[in-house]
Amino acid sequence: MEFELVKRRENPLLQREEVVARIKFKGGTPSRREIREILARQLGKAPSNIFIRRISTEYGKEEATVMAMVYHSRAMALMIEPKHIIRRNEGGEAS
């Protein structure tokens, strides 16, 4: 799987980085868990502090645009992120 960081913006008020990345893959769209692990390795952060907001793919293409929030602390993430986003990222719902 190929990974390209498109945009990285620091948001000090919410103690997070807002990241947009493009990934290329073979077969089906990767799960949120797989994408979180890739982002964690690339950014040097803990996967538990990364929350995928959106995975956008175009029909027939094997690439996706990912929007993620990378928090400085898990406590801050749990205060700010909507409950459904937290459930999706922790395996509570289908990706």
76 has a pLDDT exceeding 90: yes
Give the whole-angstrom CA distance, residue 27 versus residue 74.
32
Give the pLDDT band of residue 94 (cuts 50, 70, 90). Answer: very low
8 Å CB contact between 21 and 69: no
Q: How confident is the model at residue 91 (pLDDT cuts 50, 70, 90)?
A: confident
The CA distance from 57 to 80, in Å, is: 26
Q: Under a CB-based contact definition with an 8 Å cutoff, are residues 43 and 18 in contact?
A: no
The domains found in the chain, sorted by start residue, are 2-89 (3.30.70.330)
Quick: pLDDT tens for 1-52.
Answer: 899 999 999 999 999 999 999 999 999 999 999 999 999 999 999 999 999 9
Q: For residue 12, how many C-alpha atoms fall within 13 Å in the half-sphere facing its CB? A: 0
